[in-house]
Structures are given as C-alpha cells and as structure tokens.
Amino acid sequence: MNSPVEQLFTLFNETSIRLQDELGCSYLEALAESGENVFQGAVLQEELSELTVKWLTKQYEGIHLGQYSKEEIRKAFQLVILKGMKEMVQPNHQMTPDSVGMLTAFLVEKFIKTPSFRLLDPAVGTGNLLLTVLNYTDKNVAAYGVDIDDLLLKLAYINANLQQQPVQFYNQDSLETLFIDPVDAVIADLPVGYYPNDIRADDYQLKADNGHSYAHHLFIEQSVRHTKPGGYLFFIIPNGLFESEQAGKLHDFIKEHLLIQGLLQLPVSMFKNKNAAKSIFIVQKKAADLKPPKQALLVNLPSLSNKLEMDKILFKINKWFQDNKG
C-alpha cells in the first residue's frame, strides 16, 4: 500500500497533468488549480469538459485532508512542485531542501523562548521553508511571507491552506516598502544575484557604490529593518557572502546593527558543487541591554544522514546554548 505522501503525490500529479492538458497551461499553474480544488472540495474551473469534471470529481472524492498530517501534505506538495520546477530553468526558483528547513526550525525553536512570536520570510517562494518551520513548532506564530513571483506565491498560499497554517502573503517586490509591522524573527533563503532597480537600491545603506547592488545584501538590510530590537534573523547564505567586492559594506552594516550568534556550514555534499554551498547565518538585532555571546556558535555540519556525527553536533549546539543562553 502506498504511503500517505505517495497517495497525495499521485493525486496532485495526476490531476495536475489532466488540468494542464485541458487548460493549456504550465504544470505548476495546473498544480495551483488542483490544490485549490482539493482545498475547496470542488472542481472550480468552469471551462473544463464534462468528462474531465467527472473524472476530477471522482479523484478528489477519495481524499480527505483531515486524515493526513501537515508534514505529509507539505512533503507531497513539495515533491509535486519540484517535478514542475524541472520545466522551469530560473535559478531563483530552487526550493530550500527539507533537511535545511528542519535544521532552521530546530534553531528557531532553540533561540526563541517566548510562547508566541511574529515571523517573516521575505523570500517565501513556494513557502516550503516557512511551512517547515511552522510545522515544527508548538508556539503560536503570526507568520508573513513576501514574494514578487505571483505563481510561486499562489502555490505558497495553497500550500499553507492545505496544511491549515494561517500565513499572510504579500505579492510584491520584497525590497519595496513592506506594510508589515516589525517581527520577532526572520527566516530567509536569500536570493543571490544583482538587484535591477538602482533607484530603489539607492534607499539602502548596502547599495553598491557603482553598478547594480547585490539583492542578497539588500534582503539582509530589509530584514533587519523589519525586525524588532533583540529579534533573531536566520539567513541561508552563500558561503562566499563575505568574499565579494561589496563585502566591506556588509561587514560594517553587521557590526553596526547586529550581534553574530552563529554560523552553521551545511555539508558541501548537499549541493551541486562547492561554489553553490551554503550556510545558516544567525544574527540578533542589537538592543540596549543585549550583549554578544561569549563566543559565536561555529559548526561545520557533517552529512545530515550520518547519525553518529550529527548527534555529536547536536550535543555541541546544546552545550553552546547552556553556556551562552542559559
């Protein structure tokens, strides 16, 4: 018998293929339509043939979301999105890997002690990172996601609805003015590259002196602006972040506004090549009564499938928390 994730994957995949064929749209657009149908419990597309409506209705009737956990729904929806993304070759449409999402969720839980908090993902994409963090916390979280890509954001919205996670989504350029009150924490898998809007970039301390600014630098600054003093920020960064020609400004900005809490280097084996490797960079926004940790949490992660080595690392992380946050 198929696992719950396989059952959901089959449902989303087969209904999306049928909708893609009939509507003449992309697979991901069809997936958004199918996900909405599942959530609403009805076939919403009026232009479909009677035969297709009957077939889809029969498929959807066999599914009851209440019998699946939030994580089963997220994982199945993620797999179908990954299939659809193979049609698209845009580099910023890469999804945060599950293992990185779960590690981020673990770190958010460790650093944030309050029973409720406000959380922002300014590069939310399809919502996989944000929803992983939400699914792994028992705390009361008011969550916000922003993305300029309307299709990815629609998938994130449907993804959140299917999992019954109340997230507020904003479809806009994340580096324009955000109408979101300051949050307690930010998570972001930073989109790496140049930001084309030089006029808007001019409003940022981390703008380039010449030419286009780095989008990932501006995302860091925008995130800091929207974080309360004392709030934490968890950035998934390229390992070469502090080696570029614009790194000097970034160093100065961090020194001025943030306290470095830790850097967890992800295993290179997770990425296509060494140049694509990333780390999780944890910082805290300065506040009047805050002191930096005695020493930053510096971890070079082994392969996440190596249980023995990972247990050692988790012991090291827990010891760091006792010594610095106890």
Q: What is the pLDDT of residues 259-285, one digit of tens each?
A: 999 999 999 888 878 888 899 999 999
Q: Are residues 151 and 286 in the same domain?
A: yes
Q: Are residues 129 and 214 in the same domain?
A: yes
Residue 93 has a pLDDT of 57
Q: Which residues of the chain fall short of a pLDDT of 70?
A: 1, 88-94, 326
Structure tokens at 277: 């490797």
Q: Which of 85, 116, 137 is the last residue of a domain?
A: 85
What total number of domains does the chain contain? Answer: 2
Residue 276 has a pLDDT of 82
> Are 219 and 193 contacting, i.e. CB atoms less than 8 angstroms apart?
no
Q: Are residues 104 and 250 in the same domain?
A: yes
Closest residue by Cα to residue 124 from 108, 146, 93? 146
Q: Which of 39, 67, 85 is the last residue of a domain?
A: 85
Residue 89 has a pLDDT of 52
Residue 55 maps to which CATH number? 1.10.150.470
> Are 147 and 123 contacting, i.e. CB atoms less than 8 angstroms apart?
yes
CA angle 179, 180, 184 (to 5 degrees): 160
**Burial class of 35 by CB neighbour count within 10 A (0 to 12, 13 to 18, 19+):** buried
Q: Are residues 48 and 111 in the same domain?
A: no
Q: Are residues 53 and 96 in the same domain?
A: no
Q: Which of 48, 68, 85 is the last residue of a domain?
A: 85
Q: Are residues 126 and 231 in the same domain?
A: yes
CA angle 104, 221, 226 (to 5 degrees): 75
Q: How far apart are the C-alpha atoms of 210 and 133, rounded to whole Å?
A: 37
Which residue has tokens 């955000």? 178
Q: Are residues 156 and 80 in the same domain?
A: no
Tell me the residue type at 322: Q
CA angle 17, 97, 284 (to 5 degrees): 135
**Angstrom distances, CA of residue 255 to CA of 52, 156, 248, 280, 296:** 59, 34, 11, 18, 14
Residue 1 has a pLDDT of 62
Q: Are residues 108 and 65 in the same domain?
A: no
Q: Are residues 75 and 95 in the same domain?
A: no
Residue 268 has a pLDDT of 86
Residue 129 has a pLDDT of 96
Q: Are residues 127 and 276 in the same domain?
A: yes
Domain span at residue 230? Answer: 91-325
Closest residue by Cα to residue 286 from 259, 252, 304? 259
Residue 326 has a pLDDT of 64
Q: Are residues 16 and 79 in the same domain?
A: yes
Residue 206 has a pLDDT of 96
Q: Are residues 48 and 126 in the same domain?
A: no
